[in-house]
Amino acid sequence: MPRLEPGMARIRVKDLRLRTFIGIKEEEINNKQDVLINLTILYPAVEAVRDNDIDHALNYRTITKAVIRHVEENRFALLERMTQEILDLVMANPDVRYAEVEVDKLHALRFAESVSITLAGHR
């Protein structure tokens, strides 16, 4: 993850728990499972800080709603694909300079809480 530079803000959305179809086994194809999503987003916040104006801030609610809608309305065979599609949604906002997305598939392995994939993008 890049170092936080002056004037930049880091937004973290932690433990967004959603249900979706994820996997390749018949049981996974036919039944929704819980996934846990964590987002880290860096954007220039000088104007938002200076003006105390929502119009100059990155709207994390809008981004999160788009992620929720996308994950809950689609099916995914692989965690890699789901993670990349979420990253693409976040990076579609032109104010985002860097984003990191981690998706945990809960109870994917016996004796493990989860298995996760993390992908990042920057401009």
Amino acid making up residue 98: Y
Q: Which tokens hold the place of 16?
A: 């967004």
Structure confidence by residue, pLDDT tens digits, 88-101: 999 999 999 999 99
Amino acid making up residue 42: L
Q: Taking the model in full, what pTM does it have?
A: 0.93
Q: What is the C-alpha to C-alpha distance for residues 109 and 95, in angstroms, rounded to an integer?
A: 37
| Domain 8-122: assigned CATH number | 3.30.1130.10
For residue 2, count other CB atoms closer than 10 A to its CB: 12
Residues 55, 73: contact at Cβ < 8 Å? no
Ordered by start, the domain boundaries in the chain are 8-122
Structure confidence by residue, pLDDT tens digits, 1-23: 788 888 999 999 999 999 999 99
